[in-house]
A and B are shown apart, each in its own frame.
With several copies, the nearest count.
Chain A
Amino acid sequence: MLLDIHATDSPRGFRLVGELDASNASTLSEVIQSEVDRGGDLTLDLAGLAFMDSTGIQVLVRTAQSLEGRGNLILVSPGSLVRRILELIPVQKLDNVEIVGDEDEA
């Protein structure tokens, strides 16, 4: 599998390992949606994500929008390639999106 999606309990969310692109973004979107429906903050651990394209950005934006007013989307430890795309398309500017554990701070 190009992308492994592991559910995590504390914090509640998912750990992503592999590459996120147009071939698997809709699968990720569906998996995330079930958790979004329960409300509250959602954490995505991105440390193991070696690649993300603009369809991945779409998933993040839509997730943040569905959580709006009910919770935050927390992005943990994006690697250098993921940080590069977040630099160019700054999803973290949305009110309820936050990046923690940036490599530079580690």
Chain B
Amino acid sequence: MRTRPELTGNARSFPAHPSMLHEVRRFVRDRCYEAGMHPSATDDLVLAVSEACANAVLHSKSGVVQVAWRAGAEHVEVEVADQGVFRRTVPLQEVEGVHGHGIQLMMALMDEVTVREGTIGRPGTVVRLVKLRAS
């Protein structure tokens, strides 16, 4: 499931503002439709990408979020990239209240999830979401 050159791709930048989430969902949904992806796999991917973008908007302090879409024969993958630093404190529910479980939800929805954590020396968190067409 690694990125291969023969994948068809498509990338777009969105402002890091909560109002972009709706636009991103439409972008991903349209690409999945064009690629003939199964509707329920599409729904799962749209939700997972929306969660990844919400995290970038809420936690990364970036101005722009890049969403790259690629389709292969057996899977579709989306990369969400911001320009920020990954916040490394694990939220304690008992202290900080209910959390969105965003990353756990992405894992429940996808076939493969990668998080490359942006650091101060190498900013930019990248979340890669892979969904098999058949799942």
What size tier do the contact residues of chain B reach? Answer: 20 to 34
B135 to chain A, nearest CB (A): 13
Interface residue B114 (Cβ < 8 Å from any Cβ of A): no
> Which of A2, A22, A61, A93 is the one whose CB lies under 8 Å from B54?
A22
Interface residue B129 (Cβ < 8 Å from any Cβ of A): no
Most chain B CB inside 10 Å of its own CB: which residue of A54, A81, A88 = A54
Q: Given A85-B47, A90-B89, are A62 and B101 also a contact pair (CB < 8 Å)?
A: no
Interface residue A19 (Cβ < 8 Å from any Cβ of B): yes
Complex Cα gap A21–B20 (Å): 11
Complex Cα gap A85–B48 (Å): 11
Ordered by A's residue number, 11 sampled pairs between the chains whose C-beta atoms are within 8 Å are A21-B22, A21-B50, A22-B21, A23-B19, A51-B50, A53-B50, A53-B54, A62-B97, A89-B101, A93-B92, A94-B95
> Contact residues of A with B, CB < 8 Å?
2, 19, 21-24, 51, 53-55, 57-58, 61-62, 65, 80-81, 84-85, 88-91, 93-94
> Contact residues of B with A, CB < 8 Å?
18-19, 21-22, 25, 40, 43-44, 47, 50-51, 54, 57-58, 88-90, 92, 94-95, 97-102, 105, 108-109
